Chains A and B, each alone.
Chain A
Amino acid sequence: MTHNLILRVVSKSLIPLIIVFALYVQFHGDFGPGGGFQAGVILSAAIILYALVFGLDAAEQIIPSGILRILAGLGVLIYAGTGIVTLFSGGNYLDYSGLVGSQIAGQHLGILLVELGVGITVFSVMLIIFFAFAGRGRP
């Protein structure tokens, strides 16, 4: 597929749009449909499209699998760490009300952080799984 001109041109113009849409879904999840899970999947779909058109090695150069493994753990760490921080700010585990200033602001910040953790983990795990399966086919 690497020599297909139409696929290369179309996917080159599509991938930035997919990434912007994923970021929109990630950070606009409080207001519209979506959230970290969907955003992570969409973002990994952009990389998978790149891998399908330009080859697996090119995609692994953008995001090396070592970084992906760190990111997968980092997302869970952000999520669970937010819970620990809320413990220190006087609330229950994952009760964001006391994070900053008012209750609403704390909830906003907490939901944003938690969704970010979900997004990072889902994105990297989806790519880890895809690279693991697709990498097996290589000679």
Chain B
Amino acid sequence: MIDVFINVILLAFLAITAVAIVRMTNLFAIIMLFGIFSFLSAAMFIVMDAVDVAFTEAAVGAGISTALMLATIALTKDHDEKQSVSYRPWLPLVVVIATGAALVYGTLDIPTFGDPDAPTQTHVAPYYIERSAPETGVPNIVTAVLASYRGFDTLGEVVVIFTAGIAVLLLIGGRRRKSTAVRDEREENDA
């Protein structure tokens, strides 16, 4: 019962934050609201007992990406010009409402939260719950699945992160002139 109450409040705050983001033009405030949005999502994951996901959302969504976006607006302007709308947005409104109604209709067939007969609970989850502790000796099933049973997938994820770093370095990481200047200075000092 208390879960439902907390969920309703968190969802209401999420919706309020989303509307506030859409209506604002100050990019600095929008980035702060993005951080708040991520934090509210993390709180929802905790209510749903997904603490590992909540941890990641709080650290990455609210932490790092906020810092990265702040670093980005430091390079550009921190205001978005208000565009005057010259047409009536009826068609987009109809499309959005129709899509939303279809999605809500789709949720009617989804099994209820925590349903033991749901396909996600009957596939491989029972195997992990029963066998991960005796097979790996790791109490945290999420870690056992991520690092051991699905180790190959996680290797792929790490390579993706590594590739992202390389891509950023190739695109905007070049400060070669300054770094060689520093190196020359050091070599002079060493000599």
**Could you tell me which A residues sit within 8 Å of B by CB distance?**
25, 29-35, 37-38, 41-42, 44-45, 48, 52, 65, 69, 72-73, 75-76, 79-80, 83, 93-94, 96, 103-104, 107-108, 110-111, 114-115, 117-118, 121-122, 124-126, 128-130, 132-137
Q: Determine if B143 and A129 form an interchain contact, defined as CB atoms under 8 angstroms apart.
A: no
Shortest Cβ distance from B37 into chain A, in angstroms? 18
Complex contacts, A38 vs chain B, CB 8 Å: 52, 55-56, 59
What are some 12 contacts across the A-B interface (CB < 8 A)?
Answer: A30-B138, A30-B143, A31-B140, A32-B140, A33-B142, A45-B63, A65-B179, A72-B162, A79-B154, A94-B155, A108-B138, A132-B168
A111→B143 contact, CB < 8 A: yes
> Does B85 belong to the interface (CB within 8 Å)?
no
Interface residues of B in 129-163 (CB under 8 A from A): 135-140, 142-144, 146-148, 151-152, 154-155, 157-159, 161-162
Contact across chains for B75 and A35 when beta carbons are under 8 A apart:
no
Ranked nearest first, the 5 interchain pairs of A and B with the lowest CB-CB distance are A125-B165, A104-B137, A94-B151, A33-B51, A133-B71
Minimum CB distance partner of A93 in chain B? B152
Given contacts A35-B52, A80-B155, A129-B168, A111 and B75 within 8 Å (CB-CB): no
Interface presence of B11 (CB below 8 A): no
Q: Which one, A114, A122, A133, contacts B161 given CB within 8 A?
A: A122
Binds A, one of B17-25, B90-98, B115-123, B169-177: B169-177
Question: Is residue B101 within 8 Å, beta carbon to beta carbon, of the partner chain?
Answer: no
- Complex partner residue of A96 from B71, B148, B165, CB under 8 angstroms: B148
Instruction: Please give, as numbers and ranges, the residues of chain A lying within 8 Å of B146 by CB-CB distance.
Output: 35
**In the bound complex, do residue B140 and residue A33 qualify as a contact, i.e. CB atoms below 8 Å apart?**
yes
The count of residues in chain B whose C-beta lies closer than 8 Å to any C-beta of chain A is 45
> Is B138 touching A107 in the complex (CB atoms < 8 A)?
yes
Q: Are B147 and A124 in contact (CB under 8 A)?
A: no
Contacts of A132 in B (CB 8 A): 168-169, 172-173
A42-B59, A45-B59, A111-B136 known; A134+B74 contact, CB < 8 A: yes
